[in-house]
Amino acid sequence: MKILIGICCGLLFHLAVSAQPLIPVPARIIPADKGCYPFGSTEKILLSDTTLQNEARELQRILAQRTGCRAEISLAAGQTRRNIFLQTDTTLKHPEGYRLVITPRSIRITGKDAAGIFYGIQTLNQLLLERDGKTASVPCLQIEDAPRYGYRALMLDPARHFIPAKEVKRFIDLMASYKFNTLQLHLTDDQGWRMEIKKYPQLTEIGAFRDKHSGPQGPHNGFYTQEELKDLIRYAVERHVEIIPELDIPGHTAALLLACPELGCAHRDSIPVQLGKTTDRTLCAAQEKVYEVYADILQEVCALFPARRIHLGGDEAVIDKNWGHCPDCRKLMQAKGFKEVREIMGYFFGRIHKLVRQNQKELMLWCELDNIRMPASEFLFPYPKDCTLFTWRMGLTPKTIELTRQAGIQLIASPGEHCYLDYPQYKGDLPEFNNWGMPVLTLQQSYDWDPGYGLPTEEQKHIIGIAGLLWAEAMQDLNRVTYMAFPRAMALAEAGWSLPENRNWENFKNNLIPHLADLTRRGVSFRVPFEVFNAETRKK
Ligand code: ACM
Ligand code: ZN
């Protein structure tokens, strides 16, 4: 047995010196001279304090799955010979940062905070990727790691096709494995209103049921009750994922307007509002009732979601056709002395922003460069300083980075050409319909991306993170969602976490293989990136 462990350790030492298949790649790996930590059939997880129970349970789960060992959790007081330690150390420099030290006698995961420890555990999990249920060893080494960005998000779109809460949980598990810390839930759009609002039950009674003939839970029908959302938030918190709700306004509101037609503009040249079909209607900016209803909605949403930020859309509103023709909006323009319809957008979000602030939240919006103008020209850029913007339109990110920098606005990078995971991954691949003439976004395009665009530090320090987006017009269920997300989300995980100097496409490709095998074992649908591994293609 000893000889076997010796051979095994020797092999693992070799592995330690070569790259470990870690995604996202850590800041620093220091291989040790020799040896490995062999897991026994029982292990002890010792905690520096009781607040780490959640992380200890995550480690217990992983060890059971990967090594078959039973691990007991206790406080670090009575240390025994062989141990796995979890401990916080506030002197570590970075939030979410961790140190993982593996010696022949112990595994020690030290985190700046519980999140750091959680991520150290995810790294240990990846060192064990190919060992499901088999007693295993991990090579002696030291890893020092911390994220490049504090905001690392994926967005799900249950508005287009409903995703039941238990499926969202499966997705959160996947996110946590790759050190994403934010899930944006796009809860309302033209195709559906997916969150229970107690004061306005008609929003879900009418707005959550696109297909009268199919059942109550997806793909077209369904909504999250507030209790379900609370449970989902708790589940996410345990995995160090924060959920940010998005309610898209003033466009993308057909579902709400079907339930509350009086909140739309009085214009006549549009087709009637129909769930999933109408996309050209907006809230009327001139009606007091709109602000009253949203004050109530925001109160409920902000009370439920503990995140400090809320996303309110602001994208693709068809303003000329609505506000430009609506008698009430035209009167508003006159009264305020606005010359252009887009000045109404500044007025509209000025009022909505006040409501957001009253609820102690910060506003997030999709950045539109042409659809908004603040009525007061004191803004250098037509958004207030204390909002956070997303750059998303193809080709506009360098310009948006510069404009937001000048305006002192925080930016999240989700440019179409790298982050739109609803785009096909290969010519002729899914989705089977291409409603917007969506371009191909290959795995390598998602990978070959520096969210800071190589800019000097001063010019990119307002970029606080990245987001991969899964718009779901063509994703009927979670299997399709994960097919579109993976493996490109792994590339984005690395863009969000890893330092540019540590990133390398060839290494990423090699690291990918055990991860794809692991997704298979976990029953996760993903796209095989055959073009990346195809020998003929690689020769070119
Ligand atoms: C968007 O893709 N409409 C933000
Ligand atoms: Zn109007």
Residue pLDDT, tens place only, 462-519: 999 999 999 999 999 999 999 999 999 999 999 999 999 999 999 999 999 999 999 9
Count H helices, E strands: the chain?
Answer: 20, 16
- Decide if 110 contacts 99 (C-beta within 8 A): yes
- The alpha carbon of 32 and the centre of ligand 1 are apart by a number of angstroms equal to 47
Residues 6 or more apart whose Cβ sits within 8 Å of residue 135: 38, 39, 40, 41, 67, 68, 69
Residue 276, phi then psi, degrees to nearest 5: 85, -10
Does 109 have pLDDT greater than 90?
A: yes
User: What is the DSSP secondary structure assignment for residue 216, as one 8-state letter?
Assistant: S
Rounded distance from Cα 235 to ligand 1 centre (Å):
27
Q: Of all protein residues, whose CA lies closest to atom 1 belonging to ligand 1? A: 315
Q: How confident is the model at residue 348 (pLDDT cuts 50, 70, 90)?
A: very high
CA 177 to each of CA 137, 241, 407, 466: distance values in angstroms, whole numbers, following the listed order = 20, 11, 35, 17
Ligand 1: centre distance to CA 368 (Å): 10
Taking the CA of 264 as reference, the closest ligand is 2
Residue nearest to atom 3 of ligand 1 (CA): 315
What is the CB-side half-sphere exposure of residue 197 using CA atoms within 13 A? 25
pLDDT at 349 over 70: yes
Give the whole-angstrom CA distance, residue 78 versus residue 97: 27
pLDDT of residue 108 exceeding 70: yes
The C-alpha atoms of residue 330 and residue 328 are separated, in whole angstroms, by 5
Give the pLDDT score at 370.
73
User: What is the arithmetic mean of pLDDT over 28-54?
Assistant: 93
Q: Which ligand is nearest to the CA of 285?
A: 2
State residue 277's pLDDT score: 86
Distance (angstroms) between ligand 2 centre and the Cα of 280 equals: 13
Catalytic residue among 173, 316, 328, 477: 316
Give pLDDT, residue 285: 97
What is the reported pLDDT for 540?
A: 52
Give the count of beta carbons closer than 10 Å to the beta carbon of residue 139.
23
293 to 45, 466, 489: CA distances (angstroms): 51, 32, 37
- In ligand 1, the atom with minimum distance to the C-alpha of 313 is 4
What domains appear along the chain, each with residue ranges and CATH number? Answer: 18-145 (3.30.379.10), 151-539 (3.20.20.80)
Quote the mean pLDDT of the chain.
91
Instruction: Return the residue matching tokens 């320090």.
Output: 461
- CB-based contact 191:163 (threshold 8 Å): no
**Average of per-residue pLDDT across 172-182:** 98
Ligand nearest to the CA of 281: 2
**Atom nearest to 416 CA in ligand 1:** 2
Q: What pLDDT, on a 0 to 100 scale, did the predictor assign at position 125?
A: 97
pTM over the 0.85 mark: yes
- In sequence order, the β-bridge partners of residue 249 are 313
**Which residues lie across from 46 on neighbouring strands?**
74, 85
Q: Ligand 1 centroid to 526 CA: how many Å? A: 24
Q: Which ligand is nearest to the CA of 414?
A: 1
- Contact partners, residue 457, CB within 8 Å, separation at least 6: none
Ligand 1 pocket mutation pick from 282, 392, 441 by most atoms within 8 angstroms of CB:
392
What is the position in ligand 1's atom list of the atom closest to the CA of 252?
3
What residue owns the CA closest to ligand 1's atom 2? 392
Does the annotation mark 173 as catalytic?
no
Average pLDDT over residues 335-345: 93
Q: Is the bond leading into 439 cis (omega within 30 degrees of zero)?
A: no
Q: Give mean pLDDT, residues 368-390.
A: 73
Active-site residue, 238 included = no
In 3D space, the residue among 74, 75, 115, 73 whose CA is nearest the CA of residue 92 turns out to be 115
From the candidates 58, 145, 167, 189, give the one annotated as an active-site residue: 189
Q: Torsions phi, psi of 140, nearest 5?
A: -70, 130
Distance 423 CA to ligand 1 centre (A): 13
Taking the CA of residue 316 as reference, the ligand 1 atom at the shortest distance is 3
Residues touching ligand 1 (Cβ under 6 Å) are 315-316, 366, 392
The mean pLDDT of 278-291, rounded to a whole number, is: 95
Residue identified by tokens 């010519």 is 427
Position 408 pLDDT exceeds 70: yes
Separation between Cα atoms, residue 283 and residue 291, nearest integer Å = 10
> Considering all CA atoms of the chain, what is the largest pairwise distance in Å, rounded to the nearest integer?
87
Specify the ligand 1 atom closest to the Cα of 393. Answer: 2
Residue 375: pLDDT band (50, 70, 90) is low
Is a pLDDT exceeding 70 seen at residue 156? yes
**pLDDT at position 3 over 70:** no
Q: Are 401 and 460 in contact (CB under 8 A)?
A: yes
% of residues, the chain, pLDDT over 90: 82
Please, where are the H alpha helices in 359-396? Answer: none
Given 161, 186, 240, 252, the catalytic residue: 252
Q: Which residue is listed with tokens 């291989």?
A: 31
My answer on whether omega of the bond before 431 falls inside 30° of 0, hence cis, is: yes
Helices (H), 68-149: 114-127
pLDDT tens digit sequence for 293-305: 999 999 999 999 9
Nearest to 172 by CA among 93, 122, 236, 106: 236
Q: What is the pLDDT of residue 214?
A: 77
Cβ atoms within 10 Å of 306's Cβ, excluding its own: 12
* More confidently predicted of 376 and 490: 490
How many A from CA of 128 to the centre of ligand 2?
59
**Which residues, in sequence order, are CB contacts of 192 under 8 Å at separation 6+?**
158, 159, 160, 162, 207, 208, 210, 220, 223, 255, 275, 276
Q: Ligand 1: which of 316, 372, 412, 423 to mutate, judged by most atoms within 8 Å of the beta carbon?
A: 316
Mean pLDDT is lowest, of 9-23, 84-98, 354-368, 464-478, for: 9-23
Cβ contact 403:378 at 8 Å: no
Closest approach atom of ligand 1 to CA 392: 4
**pLDDT tens, 267-284?**
665 678 888 888 899 999
What gap in Å lies between CA 56 and CA 392, rounded to an integer? 38
Ligand 1 geometric centre to CA of 392 (Å): 7
- pLDDT at res. 79: 62
- Please compute, for residue 266, the number of CA atoms within 13 A of its CA located in the half-sphere on the CB side: 8
* Number of residues that make up the chain: 540
Question: How many C-beta atoms lie closer than 10 Å to residue 485's C-beta?
Answer: 27
Cis peptide before 375 (omega within 30 of 0): no
Distance CA 164, CA 181 (A): 21
Using the predicted structure, report yes or no on whether residue 6 has a pLDDT greater than 70.
no
User: 90-94, 102-106, 109-113, 269-273: which has the minimum mean pLDDT?
Assistant: 269-273
Q: Assess whether pLDDT exceeds 60 at residue 25.
A: yes
pLDDT, tens only, 230-277 = 999 999 999 999 999 999 999 999 999 999 999 999 866 567 888 888
| Ligand positioned closest to the Cα atom of 326 | 2
Question: What are the residues facing 88 on neighbouring strands?
Answer: 111
Distance of alpha carbon 109 from alpha carbon 119, whole angstroms:
9
* Residue 252 annotated as catalytic: yes
- pLDDT above 70 covers a percentage of the chain that reads 91
| pLDDT at position 537 | 57
